[in-house]
């Protein structure tokens, strides 16, 4: 029996058997049918047209805005008018914070007669800075000359301006490849016992700098006591080598700026006088180093920060949500303004977001409202498996487009991790449905945690595969820089494969040579195993020892995919189950990679369905959002349930505190995900995940408890 579901007021025919998909409705599977459905309260809809009297001294400004279509609501007007002293604007999702920031900047110049050169606008991205400038120029009375004088840019561009001003010979900023090459050379030079991937050490160093654990020559040792001596030696040598060669990396811009401000008090005082009005966007994503830079610059200024603690989702890369939460305490006389009217989403979507985030404790209390309109209730569906979930999503996309209401580019599929979307990605790739990924994200098989496992398999089939050998050498605790050339020479001189050449490396310690000879024999055997056996052998300490390698090599890793490495490897085990031989599986992987390249060449940029993680979707909006994998262990991720696994060893926090913080960040992720939807929101929850029963996300279950509700229609 096939299933029907209501979408956008009309029936959509779900092309699946009864056993494959549960009813699509306005309540998640597992929530009692008697439950009510959350919705957002309706705002009065009053704007500046009614709220600003014609005889007000600044009425001319608001009348001019209205002529361009900008009609501010009451809290937005308050935010624009409140120009003096410390101001915290708590801007909810879709509440028009960019409009408020640009209007406030124009208000300072046109109403308060503040010279443009005394205004600073700090953003997190160059794109946001460009958008601010463009919007400013659309406001009547604001000229190109005025906008040019405003200091508008990212934290790093502002830091660079301040830092380099005091240098007669400014340093060169290294590229990622240059940084990685330098780390490789230093590791070879120091002959460390541990094998570290450059990316791992560099991401650790960036994290430490963002937390001001490393500034110049100073290492706050008590904060990095978990760092192994070998890693510390490499990083210290890296820092000294940069100084000797007048080089810096990206994070040095902020720490260099702070050092400069501390070293030149007169310079700092001059900057403080000039920067009389500082506005900082996305303040909830600020890290400790950025906070310190702004704190120093804004001592004598009227500092206005704009952000939403409910959307603080970058703790894993050093952002510290407590910074915005402490702002009122640290700034006497702070004015707090809440932008609480959502202009993006319908009542049902905003209501769900309100109920998801309500359970967080570390936040500024707010309840988003909406303007009068359709309820736009979220729709939930459950499938038997992840495979069936992917098929259901493909069918839903096709039917939404066939309805004529949407194009492919109107639709976004969001997910917690890349591995969660592997099945959907591959089915989309082979289906011909146009789609795009965030910044051309790598396929699952190109992730740095997965690639070496595949290369073990490739070497077993082809022991002369040079690229595969280079990939796995670090996993065998053999330096690529030191031994790769020797392996090639041995292969040529003795007429053996690269794999066999490993037996003849003379410079290795005897215990390592014995282990390596065992691994060469083992490598030859992989091709005869089933793909699942092969992956497990590669991970197993008795075989490839890959899990053990990742466990030690990961020491201090903070990159997203490193933090989720076990998740990736379990997903790989799931992926290989469909294949009988290693050769078949690798052929399939190659097909996926070829299809990806073909799609890049033939598909017009930005014309397809968007596939992206929730993290990368922040700040964006789509007419239709499909959130997949809304199950316990995925959203919230298992790492939040067991935060002891999280590699933040340098942060001395109690287990319960870590768990609370991790769960609150997961809840914020869910909030960000659902509030991207402008018209329709679909949420999918597979009933089985990687062969085991999967429960509905507790973040969704919580949303149906004590909610502001409307009666369920069944």
Q: Return the minimum-mean-pLDDT range out of 296-300, 458-462, 678-682, 707-711.
A: 707-711
Q: Return the minimum-mean-pLDDT range out of 443-447, 569-573, 705-709.
A: 705-709
Sign of the torsion formed by the C-alpha atoms of 288, 293, 296 and 297: negative
* pLDDT tens, position by position, 119-131: 999 998 989 999 9
Sequence ranges of the binding site = 91-98
**C-alpha distances out from residue 136 to 117, 157, 279, 532, Å:** 15, 20, 14, 57
Contact 313, 277 (CB under 8 A): no
Q: Return the minimum-mean-pLDDT range out of 5-19, 345-359, 546-560.
A: 5-19
Tokens describing residue 72:
């501010």
Please say if the pLDDT value at position 43 is more than 90. yes
Average pLDDT over residues 112-141: 95
Average pLDDT over residues 6-15: 39
SS3 6: strand
383 CB neighbour count, 10 Å cutoff: 25
Mean pLDDT of the chain: 87
Residue with tokens 């989720």: 564
Please say if the pLDDT value at position 218 is more than 70. no
Q: How far is CA 536 from the centre of its chain?
A: 29
* Residue 562 pLDDT level (bands cut at 50, 70, 90): low
104 CB neighbour count, 10 Å cutoff: 23
- Single out the residue of 555, 540, 571, 559 nearest to residue 638, CA to CA: 571
For position 691, what pLDDT does the model report? 87
* pLDDT tens, position by position, 347-368: 999 999 999 999 999 999 999 9
657 CB neighbour count, 10 Å cutoff: 12
* pLDDT tens, position by position, 242-251: 999 999 999 9
Residue 627, strand partner residues: 414, 683
Please say if the pLDDT value at position 156 is more than 80. yes
Average pLDDT over residues 523-552: 85
6 or 663, which is more confident = 663
559 or 592, which is more confident = 592
Average pLDDT over residues 73-77: 97
Q: What count of Cα atoms within 13 Å lies in the side-chain half-sphere of residue 645? A: 13
Average pLDDT over residues 268-279: 96
Q: What count of Cα atoms within 13 Å lies in the side-chain half-sphere of residue 338? A: 11
- Single out the residue of 426, 400, 380 nearest to residue 611, CA to CA: 426
Q: What count of Cα atoms within 13 Å lies in the side-chain half-sphere of residue 218? A: 9
Tokens describing residue 514:
């014995």
Pairing of strands 119-123, 277-280: parallel
Average pLDDT over residues 1-28: 51
Average pLDDT over residues 107-134: 95
* Residue 259 pLDDT level (bands cut at 50, 70, 90): very high
Please say if the pLDDT value at position 714 is more than 70. no
Residue 72 CA to residue 99 CA, distance in Å, equals: 9
Average pLDDT over residues 76-98: 97
For position 563, what pLDDT does the model report? 56
Contact 7, 680 (CB under 8 A): yes
659 or 28, which is more confident = 28
Sequence ranges of the binding site for ATP = 91-98
């Amino acid at each position: 029996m096939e299933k029907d579901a209501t979408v956008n007021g009309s029936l959509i025919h779900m092309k699946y058997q009864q056993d494959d998909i549960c009813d699509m409705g306005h309540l998640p599977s597992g929530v009692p049918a008697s439950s009510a459905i959350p919705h957002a309260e309706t705002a009065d809809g009053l704007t500046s047209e009614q709220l600003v009297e014609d005889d007000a001294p600044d009425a001319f400004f608001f009348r001019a805005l209205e002529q361009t279509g900008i009609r501010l609501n009451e809290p937005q007007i308050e935010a624009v008018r409140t120009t003096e002293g410390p101001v915290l604007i708590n801007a909810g999702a879709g509440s028009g914070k960019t409009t408020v920031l640009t209007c406030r900047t124009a208000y300072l110049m046109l109403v308060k007669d503040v010279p443009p050169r005394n205004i600073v606008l700090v953003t997190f991205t160059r794109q946001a800075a460009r958008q601010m400038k463009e919007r400013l120029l659309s406001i009547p009375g604001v000229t190109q000359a005025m906008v040019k004088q405003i200091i508008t840019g990212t934290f790093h561009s502002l830091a660079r301006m301040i830092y380099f001003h005091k240098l007669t010979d400014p340093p060169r900023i290294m590229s990622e490849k240059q940084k990685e090459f330098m780390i490789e050379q230093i590791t070879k030079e120091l002959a460390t016992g541990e094998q570290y991937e450059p990316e791992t050490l560099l991401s650790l160093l960036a994290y430490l700098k963002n937390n001001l654990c490393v500034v110049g020559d100073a290492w706050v040792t008590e904060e990095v006591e978990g760092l192994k001596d070998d890693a510390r030696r490499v990083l210290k040598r890296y820092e000294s080598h940069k100084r000797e060669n007048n080089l810096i990396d990206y994070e040095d811009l902020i720490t260099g700026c702070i050092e400069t401000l501390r070293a030149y008090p007169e310079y700092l005082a001059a900057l403080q006088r000039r920067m009389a009005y500082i506005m900082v966007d996305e303040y909830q994503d600020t890290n400790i180093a950025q906070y310190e830079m702004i704190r120093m610059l804004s001592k004598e200024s009227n500092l206005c920060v704009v952000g939403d603690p409910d959307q603080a989702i970058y703790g894993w890369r050093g952002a510290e949500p407590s910074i915005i939460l402490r702002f009122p305490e640290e700034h006497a006389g702070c004015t707090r303004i809440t932008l609480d009217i959502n202009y993006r989403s319908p009542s049902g979507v905003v209501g769900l977001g309100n109920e998801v985030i309500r359970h967080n404790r570390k936040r500024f209390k707010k309840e988003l409202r909406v303007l009068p309109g359709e309820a736009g209730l979220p729709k939930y569906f459950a499938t038997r498996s992840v495979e069936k979930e992917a098929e259901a999503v493909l069918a839903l996309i096709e039917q939404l487009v066939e309805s004529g209401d949407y194009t492919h580019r109107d639709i976004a599929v969001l997910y917690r991790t890349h591995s969660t979307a592997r099945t959907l990605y591959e089915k989309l790739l082979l289906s011909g449905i146009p789609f795009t990924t965030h910044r051309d994200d790598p396929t699952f098989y190109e992730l740095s945690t997965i690639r070496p496992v595949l290369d073990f398999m490739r070497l077993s089939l082809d022991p002369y595969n040079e690229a595969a050998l280079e990939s796995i050498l670090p996993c065998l605790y053999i330096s690529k820089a030191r031994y790769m050339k020797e392996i090639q020479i041995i292969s040529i001189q003795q007429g053996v494969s690269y794999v066999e050449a490993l037996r003849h490396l003379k410079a290795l310690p005897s215990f390592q040579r014995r282990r390596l000879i065992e691994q060469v024999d083992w490598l030859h055997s992989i091709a005869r195993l089933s793909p699942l056996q092969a992956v497990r052998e590669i991970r197993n300490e008795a075989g490839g020892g890959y899990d053990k390698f990742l466990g030690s090599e990961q020491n201090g890793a903070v990159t997203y995919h490193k933090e989720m490495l076990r998740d990736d490897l379990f997903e790989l085990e799931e992926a290989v189950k469909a294949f009988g031989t290693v050769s078949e599986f690798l052929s399939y992987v190659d097909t996926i990679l070829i299809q990806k390249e073909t799609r890049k060449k033939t598909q017009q940029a930005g014309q397809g369905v968007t596939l992206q993680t929730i993290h990368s979707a922040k700040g964006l909006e789509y007419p239709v959002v499909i959130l997949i994998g809304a199950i316990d262990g995925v959203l919230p991720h298992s790492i939040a349930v067991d935060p002891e696994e999280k590699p933040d060893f340098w942060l001395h926090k109690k287990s319960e505190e870590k768990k609370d913080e991790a769960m609150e960040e997961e809840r914020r992720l869910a909030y960000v995900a659902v509030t991207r939807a402008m018209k329709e929101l679909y949420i999918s929850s597979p009933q089985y995940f990687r062969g085991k029963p999967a429960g509905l996300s507790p973040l969704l279950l919580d949303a149906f408890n004590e909610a502001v509700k409307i009666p369920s229609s069944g």
